[in-house]
């Protein structure tokens, strides 16, 4: 019980350590665009953490640069292009579909298809085994005939 409580407190403390932004925006639209970008852009240093959740110096620089670009009137496409040019497609959580990223987009569907095929094969094997077991079992009438034949055979041996 204490372990669960300790782990819960640790988790809550990690959430409390999230980045608190103090950037000011001229309007609500800019603030929402900023939040969108900080959620959609990945920190180059932190591997799998977005800009809004990273405290690394590079993430702080990217947030500052993002704030500047928004205030200078850059469009969303221009900001995305700027970040990709500077940091590569790794900075995007949702990279565009192209030759290099095609496997990233198709892999989940392929794994799902393989899982479905595996489940179908397992179910078919189980059903075939069940049918084999049922076909190997004798019906009540067949069992009676077999017992009768065995008894007749046993009686025939007794007479010899």
Question: pLDDT digit string (tens) for 82-92?
Answer: 999 998 888 88
The full length of the chain comes to 160
- Token pair listed for 11: 């988790």
Domain regions of the chain by residue span: 18-91, 102-159
Dihedral over alpha carbons 68, 71, 76, 80 (to 10 degrees): -10
Cα gap 14→37, rounded to integer Å: 22
What would the pLDDT profile of 104-114 be if each residue is shown by its tens digit? Answer: 788 899 999 99
Cα gap 54→79, rounded to integer Å: 19
Cα gap 76→16, rounded to integer Å: 30
Local confidence band at 14 (pLDDT 50, 70, 90 cut-offs) = low
Is 38 or 24 the better-scoring residue by pLDDT? 38
DSSP state for residue 79 in the 8-state scheme? H
Q: Are 52 and 40 in contact (CB under 8 A)?
A: no
The CATH number corresponding to 18-91 among 1.10.1750.10, 1.10.10.10, 1.10.8.640, 3.40.640.10 equals 1.10.8.640
Phi, psi angle pair for 42, to nearest 5°: -95, 140
Contact residues for 154 (Cβ-Cβ < 8 A; gap 6+): none
Percent of the chain clearing pLDDT 90 (strictly above): 26
- The model carries a pTM of 0.54
Task: Give the mean model confidence (pLDDT) for residues 75-79.
Answer: 92
Is a pLDDT exceeding 90 seen at residue 69? Answer: yes
Coil, helix or strand for 110?
Answer: helix
In sign, the C-alpha dihedral spanning 64, 70, 71, 73 is positive
Is a pLDDT exceeding 50 seen at residue 16? Answer: no
């Amino acid at each position: 019980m204490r372990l669960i409580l300790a782990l819960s407190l640790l988790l809550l403390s990690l959430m409390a350590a999230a980045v608190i932004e103090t950037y000011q925006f001229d309007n609500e639209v800019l603030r929402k665009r900023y939040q969108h970008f900080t959620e959609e852009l990945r920190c180059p240093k932190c591997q799998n953490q977005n800009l809004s959740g990273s405290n690394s110096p590079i993430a702080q620089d990217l947030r500052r640069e993002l704030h500047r670009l928004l205030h200078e009137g850059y469009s969303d496409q221009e900001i995305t292009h700027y970040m990709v040019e500077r940091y590569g497609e790794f900075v995007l959580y949702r990279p565009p579909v192209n030759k290099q990223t095609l496997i990233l987009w198709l892999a989940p569907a392929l794994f799902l298809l393989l899982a479905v095929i595996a489940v179908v094969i397992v179910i078919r094997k189980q059903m075939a085994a069940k049918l084999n077991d049922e076909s190997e079992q004798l019906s009540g009438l067949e069992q009676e005939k077999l017992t009768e034949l065995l008894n007749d055979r046993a009686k025939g041996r007794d007479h010899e």
